[in-house]
Structure 1
């Protein structure tokens, strides 16, 4: 396979393409950015109610893509899910301000705090999406929820009528829910609101033929949601997870490079061959080798980064080294971390090793992992602050580490008191109306073994066969926790 682009040209293509890709939260998906790994197919099955995934794995991307008729048609064709072509899709909750379809986070918090039943509120969101005239005629969400509370019979009849109409027309009404971490600033209330949503979602799944919910949710929020309703266990059978294998990550990389709109991308497509232009060139589908064949991907990445992470094979191959050092304890990799590591590697190589024989220098790839670790730790601390507080206390230690040593370290630092003080501060800020992102805390700060188990479940720690605990590099590097043979932290 020929490669007419020179290393410096590949470097510029990488910098340009990846700088845009890692900022996906502020960009709406479009045909160029629509990459569909095989591992995400089940997330788009209409009957799969809950789609689980941590930050940066694609929940919001798929939420927005399913709302777009054109992108949904692409997904139906490539994933061969014909049912996606027979949908009427509406938002039930998301990051965008859309008061016509659902209450804002601030308003929802006020409604719940003032005593509005969350199940009734979600039912009002459903009836709004279905176009129930009495509900849609009311301007305020408080009044819409009150109407549902006062008219349970007509509310159910409206759902039954729309279900029959959808069955007759062979159309499914799909409501999408995302950004649920912003529902309420207090974890207990958040868990209650999410539980009510899941209850209604399950009822629609079991009792109607053509009304479905798809709820994009973080795994920790799914575990903590209040689900004290009949058949709640059935939600597990209608859930799936957004997973990324290394082959999918490299497929995303090559897809991103090939879908730029410049001469370098055109030459990249011509040199790698077999790209399929879709809809007049609005989207380019990578050849099967680049999107799904490990050997071909490794051969091509070797052209970009060289074969090894050093002078010989003992340092590890560049293709496998990068994803291996970005995995969490559950062997999951965030595509955002992967692309950020490569974006950093390309920029460092360009700025500091501009004459290097490859587009990516292996030391720059190590720097990329350091940057990805910094961002991942910050994201985890924002999402689940007690995790950052707990793990930061292990700075200066080395892993693998005994469970007893972790407990001893936490006891010396007074971790339970720190977590209680942290939770109290977040509660005071929430009650004062300070705009904070959702804060979660452990159920029992005094149970240190349970905290360790929670960290293992979250993928922040990993239990080894000898029962010692390890910390994956994606968290360990930035937190300055040592490990023999691990990635060095930049000074």
Structure 2
């Protein structure tokens, strides 16, 4: 039997296997590292229209993977879904947007909505986007997006003709034509406008599913945006019945970690695989872990203890490493971002090398504790990018200690003129127009004037939590980077 990796080899493996970029906007899926959690199967089904997922749960990652035939084939095998091999995928919207994409940038959307008005403008906008994605020559020949939307509104018959023709071609070829929509929080800075755009997209997507046999939309959306978008259109109830959620159980998180370790192209990874059952080679350097390594928490705990030891201290009073780490990376909804999870473990390996290199485990418990600060820093940076108003609101609580009474939170917000700040952010964001041209913090809150509503929205987002007493708390994954204390909790950096 191959010798087990040494402590140094384990530490090297963790650092290298988790050392690549972990941001979905820059970290493209690849054959070796693509992990297929059992709970995500439904999300990839071409007939599932809406896929709900919080930041970092895999919306953009799966959107990118679905556009790659090789990765779709991996998913088709893993999920026993042969239909995935017979789809043609086109991106209908994501971040960016420009002359070489079938969708506009955020700044262009804001501009065209100022130029084109009317009760149906949001629906006509998506008609134009869909026709551009389907390569309809009549609309592609129009250079300006505002003019495209006007044309779509004036030529509704052309839209229906385009759908029929695309549906016919897809049926004849035996394909399903899937239009992907991602990053909807970057549609518009004003939340009410973004909600109307998302609502219109839902309606267009549902009509595709109900009126065509081979055209489908797949919409990746944050749960709070799904909930707040109005659904006052025929058959709207069918949308929720045809939705899936991207969730990561503790079992899935550990499965992801061990999949990454076992698929690193190194001798250390080969030694790691040799310790835990029969890893099945799939070709081109990709290996599939034994079922118990992916799905049995007792086995997973045994593997993790070999990396990090059993306790978060010298005995069990400080907690068990297997449960402590994911528990402290949860947001207020109990969700752990896989990106944050891998980042924390990579940071713990680096800290162990720097400060605890002579210890018997690859991950020292103090390094695991300290790694929460780096994970929190990155998580808050993500919050600023996607839900900038939420980061601005929590930033005004810096230096305080939770749990905190709602009245004190509102006092701090009034003292910091939060409402005016949030209004200014929307104006600045509309002018910047997107990450390629300046600052972009996603859509704003539902009601910047109502501090009670802001608290409830932050609770809905999982940024704040509410105790049974009514006091407000903040998960460690946000609290630490915002320099907010909690008695008895993981301490802030001095």
- Normalised TM-score (structure 1): 0.91
Select the residue among 240, 245, 251 that pairs with 1:247: 251
Quote the residue 2:273 is aligned against: 269
CA deviations 1:387-439 (Å, max 9, x no partner) are 223333444444344xxx22134225515832223312441453476722144
1:294 aligns with 297
Aligned to 2:56: 56
| Residue of structure 2 in register with 1:156 after alignment | 160
Is the 8 Å Cα contact of residues 56 and 335 (structure 1) preserved in structure 2? Answer: yes
Measure, in 1, the Cα distance between the counterparts of 2:2 and 2:305: 13
Q: Is the 8 A contact 1:7 1:358 kept in 2?
A: yes
Distance 1:321 1:237 in 2: 35
Report the 3-state secondary structure (helix = DSSP H, G, I; strand = E; otherwise coil) of the residue aligned with 1:240: strand
The residue number in structure 1 matching 2:451 is: 448
Residue 93 of structure 1: aligned partner: 93
Q: Which residue number in structure 1 is paired with residue 106 of structure 2? A: 105
Instruction: State how 1:393-404 maps to structure 2 within 5 Å.
Output: 393-401=396-404
Using a 3 Å threshold, how does the CA distance of structure 1 residues 266 and 427 change in structure 2: closer, same or farther? Answer: same
Q: Do the aligned partners of residues 161 and 274 (structure 1) sit closer, same or farther apart at CA in structure 2, a change above 3 Å counting?
A: same
Deviation at 1:350, TM superposition (A): 0.7
Summarize the alignment of residues 92-241 of structure 1 with structure 2, pairs less than 5 Å apart.
92-95=92-95, 99-115=100-116, 117-241=121-245
Q: Residue 392 of structure 1 corresponds to which residue in structure 2?
A: 395
Distance 1:432 1:377, change over 3 A: closer
Contact 2:91–2:180 (CA under 8 A) maintained in structure 1: yes
Q: Does 1:406 align with 2:406?
A: yes
Give, in angstroms, the shift of residue 215 of structure 1: 0.9
The corresponding residue for 1:419 is 419
Pick closer, same or farther for the CA change 1:252–1:21 going to 2, 3 Å: farther
Q: Structure 1 residues 21, 267: closer, same or farther in 2, change over 3 A? A: farther
The structural deviation recorded for 1:477 is 2.5
| Contact 1:305–1:318 (CA under 8 A) maintained in structure 2 | yes
Contact 1:127 1:135 (8 Å CA) reproduced? yes
- The alpha carbon displacement at 1:45 in A equals 1.7
Q: Residue in 2 aligned with 1:478? A: 481
Contact 1:92 1:175 in 2 (8 A): yes
Whether contact under 8 Å (1:416, 1:446) holds in the other structure is: no
Q: 1:274 to 1:415 in 2, by over 3 A?
A: farther
- Is the contact made by 2:312 and 2:324 (CA closer than 8 Å) also made in structure 1? yes
Aligned to 2:461: 458
Q: CA deviation at 1:305?
A: 0.5
What secondary structure, in the 3-state scheme, does the structure 2 residue paired with 1:33 have?
coil
Structure 2 equivalent of residue 72 of structure 1: 72
Equivalent-residue separation in structure 2 for 1:485 and 1:429 (angstroms): 39
C-alpha separation between the residues in 2 aligned to 1:16 and 1:96?
A: 30
* 8 Å contact from structure 1 (residues 390, 415) kept in 2: no
RMSD: 2.5
Residues 64-98 of structure 1: CA deviation (Å, up to 9, x unaligned)? 11111111111111111232122121111123656
How much has 1:231 moved relative to structure 2? 3.2
What's 1:353 paired with?
356
Residue equivalent to 1:22: 22
d(CA) in 1 for partners of 2:107 and 2:3? 53
Greater mean alpha carbon deviation, residues 359-368 or residues 19-28: 19-28
Q: Kindly state the Cα deviation for residue 168 of structure 1 after the two structures are TM-superposed.
A: 5.0
SS in structure 2 of the partner of residue 92 of structure 1? strand
Aligned equivalents of 2:246, 2:17: Cα separation in 1 = 23
Aligned positions, number = 487
Distance apart, 1:452 and its partner CA? 2.1
Cα distance per residue 1:287-323 (max 9 Å; x no partner): 1122111111100110100010001111111111100
Output the CA distance in 2 between the equivalents of 1:435 and 1:206: 39
Please give the alpha-carbon distance, in whole angstroms, between the structure 1 residues aligned to 2:416 and 2:488.
32
- Assess, with a 3 A threshold, how the Cα gap between structure 1 residues 276 and 235 changes in structure 2: closer, same or farther: same
Deviations 1:263-307 (A, max 9, x none): 2222222233311111x2332111112211111110011010001
Match for 1:320 among 323, 336, 351?
A: 323
1:39–1:244 contact (8 Å) kept in structure 2: yes
Equivalent residues of 2:429, 2:441 under 8 A apart: no
Local SS of the residue matching 1:184: coil
Q: 1:102 to 1:391 in 2, by over 3 A?
A: closer
Q: Mind listing any 5+ residue stretches in structure 2 that lack a counterpart?
A: none
